[in-house]
Each structure stands twice: as C-alpha cells, then as structure tokens.
Amino acid sequence: RRQLMQWIAQREDLWIQPKVDGVAVTLVYQHGKLVSAVSRGNGLQGEDWTEKVRLIPGIPHLLTDASSSLVLQGELFLKMTDHRQRTRGGVNARSVVAGEMRRHQPSPVLSQIGLFVWEWPDGPKTMPERLEKLKEMGFAMTADYTHAIGSFADAEKWRHDWYHGPLPFV
C-alpha cells in the first residue's frame, strides 16, 4: 500500500479504469473499416475473431475517422445489468465470452457481448482528447469509466465504488 501511495504521489496526469473481466482483443481499422479482430492468444499468436466481432452489435464496422490505420485494444465482456462485484463475484462471465468466441457457429450470446477499450496506442496524446474521440467513434463506455486521479484516496474511492456499486460488466 505504501509503495502504491508513493508511486501515485510521484506522478501527474494519472487515470484509473476498472478491471473489466473478459477476453482481450485487438481491433484494427483501415481507412475507417474494421479489418481485423484478434485475441491476445498465447502472447505470441492470437485467434482471428474478425467475423465473430462483426456480429457484435456494439462494435462499429465503420468509423467516421478515416485515418489510414487505427488500432484499439480492449476487453470483450458479457453485458450485465446492475452487477455488483462484492455480492455476485465473477459469475463465470469471462468463460462465457471466451466460449462464445471459440464456437464454430455464432449464437445469441454474441448480442450480449460488449467492448471496453482500454488502450489506443497511437491515439491522441492527452486522455481528455482520447476519451472524446473514442466517444465520437462509438466507444462511449471507455469515457464513462475512465477517471483522473490525483491521490491514493482517489484510487481507493473508485475501487470502492466499482466493487460495491452497480456495473454493466463483471
């Protein structure tokens, strides 16, 4: 705890997000079109989930930002209604998503999967710009759950809120 307090105290422009329980995916857009969705896999090689990801309603196929290349990293998660981590725990949500992404034939579960973007490697330099751009592209959840912090107490407050309060994910 003390090390984390010191680490936070030595930094500026810190932001916090909840750890969304799901499976990691990297989306690649070329000239605004979704061309690739790949799992993290074993760290060396991932699984190509492009066709399945195109069937997930909340993930845009086309972006108005027509930059030559855009890479987003995030978490595919099982959508929940008012999930409370403290009382309900993980409810096997990660396994449900992983299983659906590995199925040979898509099922209705795909409509219950969302995406939380947690990284945009070549995105805007400042977090407010990055969050605004993500919102414009259709990834508003990231902005809703990314907050500036200036102290360990701020981090504790968000952790407490996310652990005890209702969330749309595990």
pLDDT tens-digit profile, the chain (170 residues): 899 999 999 999 999 999 999 999 999 999 999 999 999 876 677 899 999 999 999 999 999 866 788 999 999 999 999 999 999 988 999 999 999 999 999 999 999 999 999 999 999 999 999 999 999 999 999 999 999 999 999 999 999 999 999 999 99
33 has catalytic annotation: no
- Can you give the pLDDT at residue 64? 82
Listed in sequence order, the residues at least 6 apart from 44 whose beta carbon sits closer than 8 Å to its beta carbon are none
- Can you give the pLDDT at residue 42? 66
Backbone φ and ψ for 20, nearest 5 degrees, come out as: -85, 130
Exactly one of 19, 52, 79, 125 is catalytic; which is it?
Answer: 19
Residue with tokens 């990660």: 94
Task: Show the tokens assigned to 58.
Answer: 């909340």
CB 78 within 8 Å of CB 107: no
Say how far apart CA 97 and CA 101 lie, in whole Å: 6
Tell me whether residue 21 is exposed, middle or buried, using C-beta atoms within 10 angstroms of its C-beta: 0 to 12, 13 to 18, 19 or more.
Answer: buried
> Between the CA of residue 1 and those of 4, 6, 8, 10, 158, what are the distances in Å?
5, 9, 11, 14, 16
- Can you give the pLDDT at residue 45? 77
Global pTM value: 0.92
Say how far apart CA 25 and CA 38 lie, in whole Å: 5
Q: What angle do CA 71, 38, 52 make, to 5 degrees?
A: 110
- Can you give the pLDDT at residue 66? 65
The secondary structure of residue 62, as a DSSP letter, is: B
Helix ranges, the chain (H): 2-9, 50-53, 85-88, 93-102, 127-137, 140-144, 152-164
Say how far apart CA 3 and CA 6 lie, in whole Å: 5
Residue with tokens 């504790």: 156
3-state secondary structure of 93: helix
